[in-house]
Structure 1
Amino acid sequence: MTDSKAPPVENISGRQEVARWEHRTRKLSKAFRSPYLACYSLGAAILLLNILRSHCFTQAMLSQPKMESLDNPTAYCLGLALLGIGSTFVLSSFFALGFTGTFLGDYFGILMEARVTTFPFNILDNPMYWGSTANYLGWAIMHASPTGLLLTVVVGLIYIVAIQYEEPFTAQIYQQKASLSHKRS
């Protein structure tokens, strides 16, 4: 028998759907007997899928012809700079949020005390998504890959969709937290 509330596997924003389903039902937390263990497991799955995505991205780039206009030292240095900036945003976001903050812990009931406003969040919203996109763009430019450029656009569009799902729902979770805190005091 299947659960009619289970998240659709084919959904473009699958990680958010899994997290929303968990937020509604707490079934992963119950199955793992801990919201932390459930969140760590989801985070590990997301990390493994990101490694697979990066591998497929690289293989797709390397199997296609290069773009001659990007195959030069200046473009390579630009790609390297984008990779450095992107990695800075991704890593500093991770350090600011921690593992559970990065991997949707708030959907598991693992809430941060307050919204993070330190670097890199004081520079731009969603620095992990945009940093990751910069990494793919840098990697594509460094390899002079038109396929990589196209795939970077796809990744960026998927992140835009993810942001549209994630931000309002996360804001709702923290509004509920503030409302409960206000009622208690």
Structure 2
Amino acid sequence: MSSSVAGPDCCGGLGNIDFRQVARWEQKTRQLSRAFGSPYLACYSLGGVILLLNVLRSHCFTQAMLRQPKMEGLDNPAAFCLGLVLLGVGTLFVLSSFFALGFTGTFLGDYFGILKEARVTTFPFNIVDNPMYWGSTANYLGWAVLHASPTGLLLTVMVALVYMVAVLYEEPFTAEIYRQKASRSHRRS
């Protein structure tokens, strides 16, 4: 892929779809569930698309860093070790939250009506809210520090800001659906 093609493909197109909007549309209409014949199949399909686009985003992030000059102040063994630690912590948060939530819990299953028995509060959720987002941010930051990349640092800030906006929308929604579920369960008892 030439650099002239890689830039627009990574910065635009499908990578910029707000999947929460797709999921909210699904919650209101159930069109994806009907089209796929199952909310689980629809959720797995959307999750697969999200995963593939995350791979593309990570590739583009790396390419952007490698095409830019390094930051001399970060190009040293201590910063390299810090980058490794950030990657380790980020990976721990991402993987442990994925294992705690499962595939459908990670990839917007609550919008498809696929809920856990209760909101997950075990590790890593007992350490930090939204560990998937902050773990991913730590991974990008660690990768940027490992590569001594000012471009990577700037892109990491952009990723963190997008995640902060996502939390503003997702937190109230998640709290409300689990409140409604608890209310329905309490009435049945």
What is the 5 A alignment of 1:79-98? 79-98=83-102
Q: Distance in 2 between matches of 1:34 and 1:114?
A: 22
| Residue aligning to 1:20 | 24
The alpha-carbon deviation at position 175 of structure 1 amounts to 1.8
Distance 1:161 1:13, change over 3 A: farther
Change (3 A) 1:26 1:50: same
In structure 1, the partner of 2:171 is 167
Match of 2:124 in 1: 120
Paired residues in the alignment total 177
Runs of 4+ in structure 1 deviating by more than 3 angstroms, as ranges, are none
| Structure with greater helix share of residues | 2
1:4 maps to what in 2? none
Pairwise CA distance, 1:106: 0.9
| Unpaired stretches in structure 1, ≥5 consecutive residues | 1-8
Using the size of structure 1 for normalisation, the TM-score is 0.92
**Which of 112, 129, 132 pairs up with 2:133?**
129
Select between 80-89 and 172-181 the one with higher mean Cα deviation: 172-181
Could you say what the CA RMSD is over the residues aligned between the two structures, in angstroms?
Answer: 1.6
2:70 aligns to what? Answer: 66
Identical pairs, percent: 78
TM-aligned CA deviation for residue 15 of structure 1 = 1.2
Match of 1:32 in 2: 36
Alpha-carbon distance in 1 for matches of 2:85, 2:185: 44
Matched residue, 2:151: 147
| Residues 1:57 and 2:51 are matched in the alignment | no
Quote how far apart the aligned CAs of 1:13 are: 7.2
For the residues of structure 2 that align with 1:36 and 1:53, how far apart are their CA atoms? 25
Match of 2:79 among 67, 75, 80: 75
Contact residue 13 and residue 162 of structure 1 kept, 8 A: no
Name the CA distance, whole Å, in 2 between partners of 1:50 and 1:13: 12
Cα distance in 2 for partners of 1:58, 1:29 equals 35
Taking structure 2 as the reference length, the TM-score comes to 0.90
